Amino acid sequence: MVDLEAGCPGALRRVADHEVDPAWGVSLPSDRERERVAESLGALCEAGVGVRGAREEDGPGTSPLFVASGVFTADALPHLLPGPDWTRLDVSGGGRAGRQLDLREAMLVRDDTENGLRSTRFLSAGRPGIGVLVATAPTERFAVRAPFEDEPPAVEQGRAADTWWARSCDGDAGIAVAVRDRWSTQDGRRSLERVVAWSADAHSIPEVEPIVQRVVEAERVGVAALVDEHRAAWRRRWADADVVVEGDPVLQRAARLAVYHLLTAAASHGAAAIGPRGATGAAYGGHVFWDADVFVLPALAAIAPDAARAVVRYRIDRLPAARSAARALGLGGARFPWESAASGVDVTPDLVRAPGGGTIVVRTGDQEEHIVSDVAWAADLVARWTGDARFLDGPAGELVLDAARYWASRVELDAAGRGHVRDVMGPDEYHPAVDDDAFTNVMARWTLRRAAALVDARGGPTEAARRWREVADDLVDGWDAARGTYEQFAGYWTLEPLLADLAPRPFGADMLLGPERVAASQVVKQPDVLMLHQLVPDELVPGSLPAAIDAYEPRTCHGSSLSPATVAGLQARAGRADEAAATLDLAARIDLDDLTGTTAAGLHLATMGGLWQALAGGFLGVRPVDGALHVDPCLPAAWASLRMTFRFQGEVVSVLVDADGIEVRCERPLHVVVHGRPSSCDPPGRRWAARPVEEAS
């Protein structure tokens, strides 16, 4: 047995000493075929910057990557700018086994005992823009080598004394990294302590001198101290954001993986451009979709509110481009793009190569107009969760107002005075070019009404508010009283009545049946009507959720990774907790089991946001309503308890549900509504017995 600690510098011993708690560890696949899946699962992120978990020796079939969300290339179809690779080492003979992501300490640990290779790396949560990589291996298989030797010629490099630096640039964007290495050799083993500093900027080329100074200072502080800072920071983070599920180990692991990546998806300042896979991979070019506004932001609003504000800031900064886009269409307000990158113009590809050859015209960019409402909804959600009454007084409120202006100009009135939105695509992308998509129309209605209320609150012109309310009231929403739910779009019920029982879910019905057949059927890719029940339940006919689930869940094939968590949360809301748990399992395993075959390109960050929302809003039943925290849990039989910690109105709140009842812990007095009954909660907390609702003694 190789003594891995022999010859280790003191800091390396300290780092290598920690054992990964099984409740907090994600073991990376060790087979060659899933090398890239392992890299995604082993990705470390911090403040929107990410480094994939590629093995230090890289090699064929690997895809190491260091990127920053929102920092794009200058191409016509921009993608995330690859930064210099600082994890590459000249080490040989290592295997793929023994790698784990330690979520509690946010470290990637490699313990290759068979080959005597050990490494640990982390992106410091205690010191912005600093990372550490320590490694040890037998001397004959670990060569001393300067960093960045394998970078392509386009990457600028240099050296300042004992500091190596490299800088990737494209257009106005750049990522610069500075490295200081400390090598040691003892008893046949070579060890490395590497401290790195980086700077990434979407709008200016980073200067080298500041990161050189920062890495020199960090090295002076010492790896041991950096480790301590980092661990302390994560202890605080987990104390304020942990999810504890008793009774489902897979879900527990998935929930903590989700919280880790949500907490690290964006910085707490500036503007955050969060792509569907965050900074864990190059998928989608890092473009920003509704995933950021509707799936990621709601979780951030609760566990990282400043990051949520940064997501809204990203949209605010691109309001001018959105206004221009609306004007170009002859419409008012702002038309946010389906896919957005640095500039805010639409970067949705026009064509895609068809699976069997030829090309397919991409229509999402033109038709998924619901993004306009999604942006407005997200801004409003931040205000509701943070309790920041003034949040919408400023630029964030303009997002809501401009969205209303857009819809007011977009809605067409028929001879009977009913409002229609024609030729759109809802979240269910299997059905393009439909009229009166329920999600689009109801979200537009919510937007118009919300904007009217905002105008009234500001004491501004009331004609606009009146007009918007009128348009909202006139909008058709597809309500079908006979069915007790909303028709997904005009004519949906006349389509071929296929259910999503053609294959084990999740499956891509468009891949299985072909896009033409599926568009002519009732099979649904992901929640559309059901999505309304999650986002704007108060806009819907009360009590209509069960009928909506009965109508649409059997037709939903989960052809989108965004789908299962949404459905699960709603099933829990409808009291179908056991079904909900089974559905949520699909979301939990999307990346852990690579259900889509695309985890190699990055983790499904938006799914993680959906998972968090399903747990919080679905199973715990927490919602901010008029300044009160509503709690209405519904847990499956298999779970002994569920506890979630988050921030509500700026203060840390913890909600625990177990067989005995509900416990809310708070830092200041809270208005709570438990199972529909108004109540209060004073610090440190209060307990309610299990239903019927009675105050615990």
Partner 1 sequence: MSTVLAAVDNSPAAGPVLAAARRLAGATGSSVRAVHVGEPGRPAPQELADRLAVELTVVDGTGREVEDVLLESFRAEGVRMGVVGARDVPGGARPVGHIAQRLVESSEVPVLVVPPDAPESAGRPPWRVLLPLEGDEETSRDLAGRLARLLPSDVELVVLHVATAATAPVVDHAEWGISLWAEEFLARYCPTASRVDLRSGDVGGRILEACADVEADLVVLSWSQDTSAGHAAVVRDVLAHTTIPVALIPVARRRDATSTATSASDAGAEG
Is 511 a binding residue for partner 1 by CB under 8 A? The answer is yes
Query: How far is residue 390 from each of residues 384, 386, 395, 397, 495, measured CA to CA in Å?
Result: 11, 10, 10, 9, 46
Q: Are 381 and 609 in contact (CB under 8 A)?
A: no
341: Cβ contacts below 8 Å, ≥ 6 apart: 72, 78, 273, 285, 286, 287, 288, 347
Site string for partner 1, 675-694 (x = CB under 8 A): --------------------
How many residues does this entry show for the chain?
Answer: 697
Catalytic residue among 46, 57, 429, 663: 429
Encoded amino acid at 54, one letter: A
Q: Are 258 and 275 in contact (CB under 8 A)?
A: no
5: Cβ contacts below 8 Å, ≥ 6 apart: 13, 16
Site string for partner 1, 277-316 (x = CB under 8 A): ------xxx---x---------------------------
- Residue (of 61, 57, 62) closest to 93 by Cα position: 57
- Residue (of 326, 343, 338) closest to 291 by Cα position: 338
Catalytic site residue 57? no
Is 595 a binding residue for partner 1 by CB under 8 A? The answer is yes
Is 30 a binding residue for partner 1 by CB under 8 A? The answer is no
Report in angstroms how near the CB of residue 221 gets to partner 1 at its nearest: 40
Quick one: which segment of 148-156, 195-203, 448-456, 593-601 binds partner 1 (CB under 8 A)? 593-601
Report in angstroms how near the CB of residue 59 gets to partner 1 at its nearest: 13
Is 36 a binding residue for partner 1 by CB under 8 A? The answer is yes
Is 543 a binding residue for partner 1 by CB under 8 A? The answer is no
Q: Are 531 and 439 in contact (CB under 8 A)?
A: yes
Is 560 a binding residue for partner 1 by CB under 8 A? The answer is yes
Nearer to partner 1, 298 or 506 (CB): 506
Region 340-399 residues binding partner 1, contact defined as CB under 8 A: 348-349, 352-353, 355-357, 360, 362, 364
Nearer to partner 1, 285 or 395 (CB): 285
- Whether omega before 29 lies within 30 degrees of 0, making that bond cis, reads no
Report in angstroms how near the CB of residue 626 gets to partner 1 at its nearest: 35
Quick one: which segment of 185-193, 553-561, 646-654, 664-672 binds partner 1 (CB under 8 A)? 553-561
- Whether omega before 564 lies within 30 degrees of 0, making that bond cis, reads no
Binding residues for partner 1, how many (CB under 8 A)? Answer: 46
Quick one: which segment of 32-40, 124-132, 435-443, 613-621 binds partner 1 (CB under 8 A)? 32-40
Structure tokens at 421: 């939105």
Q: How far apart are CA 227 and CA 125, in angstroms?
A: 10
Residue with tokens 């109105």, as numbered in its chain: 649
Helix axes 305-317, 371-386, angle to 10 degrees: 140
Is 118 a binding residue for partner 1 by CB under 8 A? The answer is no
Q: How far apart are CA 505 and CA 586, in angstroms?
A: 8
Region 451-510 residues binding partner 1, contact defined as CB under 8 A: 502-504, 506-510
* Among the listed residues 17, 61, 187, 543, the single contact to partner 1 using CB under 8 A: 61
Q: Which are the catalytic amino acids?
A: 429
Q: Which residues bind partner 1 (CB under 8 A)?
A: 31, 33-34, 36, 60-61, 276, 283-285, 289, 348-349, 352-353, 355-357, 360, 362, 364, 429, 502-504, 506-514, 558-562, 595-598, 600-601, 604
